[in-house]
């Protein structure tokens, strides 16, 4: 990254705080379009004919019983499944109209489509270095700019006040909830367009969970978010769209209000009313 790029990046990080940036009506294509996606692990078909689109600024919740393909689907969106032997996909995943399974720079794809995992996974280094690591790998050298980027990212992840006096301390010394916000800050530092979160609160206590949910409410002003959750109340609290998965199929996808109060498919109704799961 040249110093210019970093300047621009920092500027955008500090300025992009209004809804405006993501809701520009001038953009033609959706943020993400998935068309007829099938995914196989060897002979086993884990995703069946998925069609999906994500608009800028959406928070989409993926719900459904364990083993129905939610994490698998999430991984198709930044090609994390490339790392799984015997995994094969057909169909298309378009990011702003470009098929991410064509020859593209996968490192750049994963910068644009960041990921936060179920169990917080800070690197074994200081709080500061956790955030600076990715940008440094991309060429950031300037100390002052690095410090600004770290501060901005931690502020946006609502953890700055808790860590500003101990940036040199080990990230692993933080609580689980703080570690998860640190991981969100680490993702933000790369200036992603989309943040994928795979059950980001399932390892956290209710208070830490509430803070992450609040944070999602802030982050959606700048980033599109796709969140796997098995807590239905979480889906209804934080998302504006919900997709219900069952046995590798996306059975229903629509506005969260409609999916929860007036589902079109009997199987969705059965699931959200707790008849199975």
The residue within the footprint of ligand ADP, chosen from 7, 8, 51, 67 (CB under 6 A), is 67
Q: Which does 41 bind (CB under 5 to 8 A by kind): ligand ADP, Mg ion, none?
A: ligand ADP
Q: Which of residues 3-62 bind ligand ADP (CB under 6 A)?
A: 41, 44, 46
Strands (E) located in 23-160: 32-41, 44-54, 59-63, 87-95, 98-99, 113-116
Stretch in the footprint of ligand ADP (CB under 6 A) among 5-13, 65-73, 94-102, 161-169: 65-73
Nearest to 130, CA basis, from 172, 161, 94, 93: 172
Q: Among 60, 71, 76, 234, which residue sits at the site for Mg ion (rule: CB under 5 A)?
A: 71
Tell me the β-bridge partners of 37: 50
Least Å distance, CB 157 to Mg ion, is 23
Interface residue with ligand ADP among 22, 68, 95, 159 (CB under 6 A) is: 68
Q: How far is the CB of 21 from Mg ion (least distance, A)?
A: 31
For the bound state, the minimum distance from the C-beta of residue 157 to ligand ADP, rounded and expressed in Å, comes to 24
Q: Does 146 bind Mg ion (CB under 5 A)?
A: no
User: Among 8, 36, 84, 147, which residue interacts with ligand ADP (rule: CB under 6 A)?
Assistant: 84
The kind and range of the H/E element at 252 are: strand 249-255
Considering Cα of 48, then 83, then 223, then 261, what sign does the dihedral take? Answer: positive
The kind and range of the H/E element at 242 are strand 241-246
Say whether 258 sits in a helix, a strand or coil. helix
């Amino acid at each position: 990254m040249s110093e210019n790029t970093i300047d621009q990046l920092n500027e955008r990080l500090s300025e992009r705080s209004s809804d405006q940036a993501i809701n520009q009506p001038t953009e033609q294509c959706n943020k993400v379009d998935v068309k007829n996606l099938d995914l196989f692990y060897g002979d086993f078909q884990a995703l069946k004919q998925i069609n999906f689109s994500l608009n800028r600024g959406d928070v989409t919740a993926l719900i459904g019983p364990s083993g129905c393909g939610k994490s698998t689907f999430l991984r198709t969106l930044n090609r994390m499944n490339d790392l799984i032997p015997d995994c094969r996909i057909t169909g298309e995943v378009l990011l702003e109209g470009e098929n991410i399974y064509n020859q593209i720079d996968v490192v750049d794809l994963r910068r644009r489509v960041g990921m936060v995992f179920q169990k917080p996974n800070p690197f074994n280094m200081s709080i500061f270095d956790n955030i600076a690591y990715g940008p440094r790998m991309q060429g950031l050298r300037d100390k002052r700019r690095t410090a600004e980027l770290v501060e901005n990212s931690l502020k946006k992840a609502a953890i700055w006040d808790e860590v500003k006096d101990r940036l040199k301390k080990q990230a692993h010394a933080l609580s689980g909830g703080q570690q998860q916000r640190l991981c969100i800050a680490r993702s933000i530092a790369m200036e992603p367009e989309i943040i994928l979160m795979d059950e980001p609160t399932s390892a956290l206590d209710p208070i830490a969970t509430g803070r992450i949910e609040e944070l999602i409410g802030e982050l959606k002003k700048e980033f599109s978010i796709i969140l796997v959750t098995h807590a239905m109340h979480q889906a209804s609290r934080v998302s504006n769209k919900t997709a219900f998965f069952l046995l590798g199929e996306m059975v229903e996808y629509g506005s969260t209000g409609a999916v929860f109060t007036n589902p079109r498919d009997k199987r969705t109704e059965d699931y959200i009313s707790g008849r199975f799961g």
